[in-house]
A and B are shown apart, each in its own frame.
Chain A
């Protein structure tokens, strides 16, 4: 975020890392409340989705930053839409699997 700053840049990345811990702790609470029964592969999928989503936004804005405005917006619209759909699909899978585990229990 602060590429030429010797102080702010490392601080920023540390803070961003710390925030991710909070984020996953929060997601864990939501998952528990909705009884999603998260296991390793569910976490991997959710984490992978989040990582791709953040990278897509960062990528689009990198293009904007280097004066590739057209490409940046199209990339955000295209990859972003696909990811939103994939995210909705993932959520659906998680919810469906919850129903099953509840019925079994």
Chain B
């Protein structure tokens, strides 16, 4: 009897946490909106040469003139390009002759370490002095191609209104969202379908198939393209940044398919058969004869949930979900990330030799997401069942089924 009571109180707490976290996310988003309302204007004024004032001409085009002179001394164009995390906005100061004087990134949703790589690669410097009469092109910084391309695309888009004003023509066509789909996205769909098949098949070589899938995925979505999904993908999805286009849809596709499958069939097949980082850990476990250990303490369940929520809230507040990712994926598959992430990655990799999938069992946000989805699904199911039951007499099993399902979630997810 006591056990049941404890279960019920635990469930009440989880319901509260589930609703609370959604409310917290909305609050962070709302506060973030207040924060950025006036920051853009300030940035534009910084771009002007000293003592000049700013005047809006049309959408995306401003004119700067010195106080003594009414004639425009320079032009400012604003445009956007599509990066990893969604649109990136760039402002350009252009001289009368069409020469780029200054460049500023007004907003970006890309992971800061990638953007940093672009800045360190001096991509902005290379743009200075170029003339906008022709389409602007510089080589992308290797290792941060998406952010480089976004910046270039945004620069060309920002040059367009000025081009029209100065020379009477434009060079860029509005990019279509469809164009951003690539062959990797189709491969992602295909791989997911295969993963579904593998999870259902009773073929004697089932585990060999699963290994083949994992290794392919580690090569393709890991070392080749680093397009596995992470907390930042969840943030990008929640923030809606993907509607206006993304530089790389693969992570989002993998996320949506996985989440959808969890909701529909209560089963997480991404972690089992597709996750490149999981695959890397499995390989290391094979090398080191790692033991499968489960961390039973509540801490290991709640800690990743809190971290994920915090990352998403900060991402929402700063309108940049990609810059708060804390996973070792970037370092592992592209040597991009801070020294702290590097240390974390080294720790996880070495622990993987001794313990099977230590990252999955401790900090990975995907468990937290899986638990959240399953819990809410069961809750909804339970409510609808109770309604049905109360209509047609009563039966109390509903709650028990739900809690049982919730308890089995974690073992399945692994």
Chain A residues contacting B349 (CB-CB under 8 Å) are 81, 85
Instruction: Name A81's contact: one of B287, B289, B339, B350 (CB within 8 Å).
Output: B350
Nearest first, the 9 A-B pairs at minimum CB distance are A88-B288, A77-B346, A88-B353, A89-B287, A88-B287, A81-B346, A81-B349, A84-B350, A92-B287
Chain A residues contacting B318 (CB-CB under 8 Å) are none
Q: Is the CB of B287 within 8 A of A77?
A: no
Q: Is the CB of B288 within 8 A of A92?
A: yes
CB distance from A81 to the nearest CB of B (A): 5
CB distance from A95 to the nearest CB of B (A): 8
Instruction: Name A77's contact: one of B284, B342, B353 (CB within 8 Å).
Output: B342
CB distance from A45 to the nearest CB of B (A): 15
Q: Which residues of A (57-95) have their CB < 8 Å from a CB of B?
A: 70, 73-74, 77, 80-81, 84-85, 88-89, 92, 95
> What's the Cα separation between A70 and B338 when bound, in Å?
11
Instruction: Name A74's contact: one of B287, B288, B289, B342 (CB within 8 Å).
Output: B342
Q: Which residues of B (252-309) have their CB < 8 Å from a CB of A?
A: 284, 287-289
Chain B residues contacting A89 (CB-CB under 8 Å) are 287
B383 within 8 A of A: no
CB distance from B136 to the nearest CB of A (A): 33
CB distance from A44 to the nearest CB of B (A): 20
> What's the Cα separation between A80 and B343 when bound, in Å?
12
Chain A residues contacting B353 (CB-CB under 8 Å) are 84-85, 88
A-B contact list, 26 entries, CB within 8 Å: A70-B339, A73-B339, A74-B339, A74-B342, A77-B342, A77-B343, A77-B346, A80-B346, A81-B346, A81-B349, A81-B350, A84-B350, A84-B353, A85-B284, A85-B287, A85-B349, A85-B353, A88-B284, A88-B287, A88-B288, A88-B353, A89-B287, A92-B287, A92-B288, A92-B289, A95-B289
> What's the Cα separation between A16 and B352 when bound, in Å?
32
- Which chain A residue lies CB-closest to B349? A81
Encode B242-254 as 1/0 by CB contact (under 8 A) with A: 0000000000000
Encode B330-344 as 1/0 by CB contact (under 8 A) with A: 000000000100110
> What's the Cα separation between A88 and B343 when bound, in Å?
20
Known contacts A70-B339, A74-B342, A77-B342; 13 additional CB pairs below 8 A are A73-B339, A77-B346, A80-B346, A81-B346, A81-B349, A81-B350, A84-B353, A85-B287, A85-B349, A88-B288, A89-B287, A92-B289, A95-B289
> What's the Cα separation between A73 and B350 when bound, in Å?
16
CB distance from A73 to the nearest CB of B (A): 7
Chain A residues contacting B339 (CB-CB under 8 Å) are 70, 73-74
Chain B residues contacting A92 (CB-CB under 8 Å) are 287-289
> What's the Cα separation between A80 and B350 when bound, in Å?
10
CB distance from A53 to the nearest CB of B (A): 13
> What's the Cα separation between A47 and B302 when bound, in Å?
45
- Which chain A residue lies CB-closest to B288? A88
Chain A residues contacting B284 (CB-CB under 8 Å) are 85, 88
CB distance from B264 to the nearest CB of A (A): 38
Chain B residues contacting A95 (CB-CB under 8 Å) are 289
> What's the Cα separation between A86 and B346 when bound, in Å?
14
